[in-house]
Each structure stands twice: as C-alpha cells, then as structure tokens.
Structure 1
Amino acid sequence: MHSRDDVQYAMETTTVLLTPDRRIDTFGDTRFDFLMLSELMDSVGSIRVRTGKIEAVRPRIVRPDGLSDIEMEGFDDSAKERFERLVAKMREAGHKLAFLQYGFRFARGQVSEELVTSSMDDLRGRVLEDARQRGNPAQAIIEGVDDAWEVSLFKFVLEMIEHSMPINGFDFQRRGLL
C-alpha cells in the first residue's frame, strides 16, 4: 500500500506522453495498450519499461434508483450515511441524478517489464517515434513513478475518462438514455 505522499507525488509527476487517438467506446468495451517508462530511484540511467493492456468496460448510466448499487468500499458507515443524505437532499431539490460510471479491468499478469540502460530523454524520443510509425490508435505512452507505477496508470485512466465523458454523454443523450 502506498502512502498518501507517494500517491500524491505519482499523480503530480506522471505525464501521459502519448494519448490514444480513440476514446472509451460508449456502447462497448475498449482496450488500450500502454507502455510506461519509469526511472529507477536507486540506479542512475536505468529505466523500467512496462507494457500491457487495460480494458475500459462499457460506461453505465447510474440513475437515482441505482445509487444504492454504488460500492463504497473502504468508507465507514458514517460516510455512507452522509452520501445517502446528500442523495436524498438532491432528489428533494428536484435534481436529476444520472451520471456515467466507468469501470476498468487490469490484469497484472499481462504486464511485461524490461530494464533499459539509457537516458530518459533518449528513450522517450525513441519510444514516441516508434509509436508514431506504428500508428496504433489505442496506444498510450506514460512516464511515471517506478515504485507507484499503478498510480501512474490510474492517472492515465482518469485522463481517458475525462476525454471520453463528453462524447459518451452526448451519445447517451442522442439515444434518449440520459
């Protein structure tokens, strides 16, 4: 488990160098290929290169009656009660409570790792050039933190949700689902 400082550091320093051309599909699952570069903290000039896949599950619409299905794992009972009171107040005020819920699947077994001796600048340039030549629309390249690489991957996931949400919302509205 990473400390709060580790998580904050990874979120602040992670950079998505290449964002996939495609977004999260509104009505189907979407797969992204990632390549993550991270310098080893205790070895100058050593970079860990991780490659793998992450799958975005089709976004779901969560409506007021479905809010009780939202998992609040890790929160105590008082937090759950505050959430339920907030939802009740919003309903009373006449707010339409519908939003998109995203889910992701990530299998650690699909991740491969390789240590490369290089400067980050040189390796970054080579990896980006190779990705441009291949032209994979689902490719992401991330520069992250080695010890908290999962947090760096999570930052990529959040950015994909942010880029995809307006398109997904429009698609749902166009079909009269939102």
Structure 2
Amino acid sequence: MNTYPDWLRAVEQTYVVKFPLQHLATFGVTNIDYFVVTEPIYTAIDSAKKNLETVVRKGRVIAEQPSLITPTYALNLKGFSDDAYEYMRHVSQSYGANSPGILYQYRNEAENLEILSGIPAEVGNRISTDLKEKKNDLSVVIVGVDEFWDVALMKFIYEFTASSASYNAKEMRTRGLMEPKSSAGGIPQAAVNQIEEMFKSVKMGGSPEMLKTELDKWGVFEFYQDRFLNLFR
C-alpha cells in the first residue's frame, strides 16, 4: 500500500527559478509577483502535447506588515484546536508568557492563466530573464506540478518567510520593539505602542470594545484598568 501523499511528491518536484532579491518588509506591506510554471495536467491524457506546452499562473502574494505576538496573545485568539492551545501553553511555560514572536499574514490574489509553448524549465527561465531585465526584484518564478500549483506557492511562502524572519527580528530589536515593558506587564514595546494608538483612537470616537479586547488578548487589562475606566468619566 502506497501511503506517500501525492502533494509531498509535488513538493519534492517543486523548485524556484527566481527568488525575490529583497526580504519581507519589516515596517510595511510587501507585494510579490509570482509566476507558477507547470506542465499541463492534460498531457497525461494527450501525450502528443507533452514538452510542447506549459501552464503559467500569474498572481500576487501580499504580505501584511509583520507584527509581534506573545504566547499569552496567541492563547487568547479564537478558532484553534485544543492541541494548538496546548502547544502554546507549552511555549509559554518554556520561554515565558510574554516572549515575543513574529506573526506573518498573507493573502493570494490570482490574476490569470496562460498556455505558452515550451517545457516548464525553458518557460521559467524565459520569464525569469524578462523579470530581471525589468528589475522586478520582488518577484518569484516557481516550477511545480500542475494539480498542486498552490502547494508550490505555499512552499515558497514558507521558505521566503523563513529567510526573512531573522532580518525582520533584527530590525525590530534595533528599534527596541521587542523589549519588555515592565510598567505594562512585561509585554513587548511594540504592543505598548499599539495599545497607546488604540487609546488615542477611542478618545477620538473609536471603539472601546476593541481596545478592551486587545488588552485582554495581551493579558494586561489590570495594568490599564484605571486608565480604561477613565475614558468613560
């Protein structure tokens, strides 16, 4: 019995022809143009078209500005399994309830699909050369498997995030954003800055409920309780 999943075989056959020349932005949104190049799945039926045509899926991956979270914050997020929360409790006990981590959030905006002549490797190289000539540094060309093209894209996102994480963390540390703030319960300075902005927003008519929810997620309502209640006096 073959228990080796097809998606894993696809991952092993996936490779990047052109990798972005820049890291994920630490203090802004990053837009990455992607081109996923595959051999059409229909060549398995019509072998006459094998090595003659290639599918190119074009789109954009948008990475939101990285943000800091802590185990306490993660434990107060909704929608995860009991096992996931148990893992975060383990992280909290091992590294501390307020140990900072970087949260990355992405969305995929697919644009179009084209059928081009040539085999995937050749087409991928042509696209890569064109992007380099246009100096499109925030672009990626991936060769993958047709029915698992989105798996190929996810593989790239994981690898790109991993390659950027140390750079993003260094920039955050340089600005003191990961430093614990004892007067605010030990949460990172970045969280303190965010909370301060939310207090300003409430004074200008923003939602106090959102502020209260955020304070609870960080587990620091007791440190801000008097100030929060003063908003209603």
The TM-score normalised by the length of structure 1 is 0.84
Residue 49 of structure 1, aligned match among 49, 52, 56: 56
1:11 maps to: 11
The one-letter amino acid paired with 1:36 is V
Q: Are 2:69 and 2:103, in contact at CA under 8 Å, matched by a contact in 1?
A: yes
Q: Are 1:49 and 1:116, in contact at CA under 8 Å, matched by a contact in 2?
A: yes
1:36 maps to: 36
Q: How does 1:64-143 map to 2 (within 5 A)?
A: 64-70=71-77, 73=80, 75=81, 77=82, 79-90=83-94, 97-107=99-109, 110-143=110-143
Classify 1:72/1:17 alpha carbon distance in 2 versus 1 (closer, same or farther; 3 Å). farther
Classify 1:149/1:166 alpha carbon distance in 2 versus 1 (closer, same or farther; 3 Å). same
Greater alpha carbon shift after TM alignment, 146-155 vs 57-66: 57-66
More helix by share: 2
Q: Please tell me whether residue 58 in structure 1 is matched to residue 65 in structure 2.
A: yes
Secondary structure in 1 matching 2:151: helix
Q: Are 1:17 and 1:143, in contact at CA under 8 Å, matched by a contact in 2?
A: yes
Query: What displacement does 1:69 show?
Result: 3.9
Secondary structure in 2 matching 1:163: helix
Query: What displacement does 1:159 show?
Result: 1.3
**Once the two structures are superposed, what CA deviation does each residue of 1:45-73 show, in whole Å capped at 9, x if it has no partner?**
22101111110011111123212145664
Kindly indicate whether structure 1 or structure 2 has the higher relative contact order, using CA contacts under 8 Å at least 6 residues apart. Answer: 1
C-alpha separation in 1, matches of 2:78 and 2:172: 23
- The number of equivalent residue pairs is 169
The one-letter amino acid paired with 2:31 is R
2:217 maps to: none
**Once the two structures are superposed, what CA deviation does each residue of 1:111-155 show, in whole Å capped at 9, x if it has no partner?**
200112312343233222212211111111111111011110001
Q: Are 1:72 and 1:80, in contact at CA under 8 Å, matched by a contact in 2?
A: no
The one-letter amino acid paired with 2:10 is A
Q: Are 2:19 and 2:141, in contact at CA under 8 Å, matched by a contact in 1?
A: yes
Query: What displacement does 1:35 show?
Result: 0.9
2:174 maps to: 174
C-alpha separation in 2, matches of 1:101 and 1:9: 29
Gaps in structure 1 of 5+ consecutive residues: none
C-alpha separation in 2, matches of 1:16 and 1:122: 13
Pick the structure with greater CA Rg. 2
Classify 1:4/1:66 alpha carbon distance in 2 versus 1 (closer, same or farther; 3 Å). farther
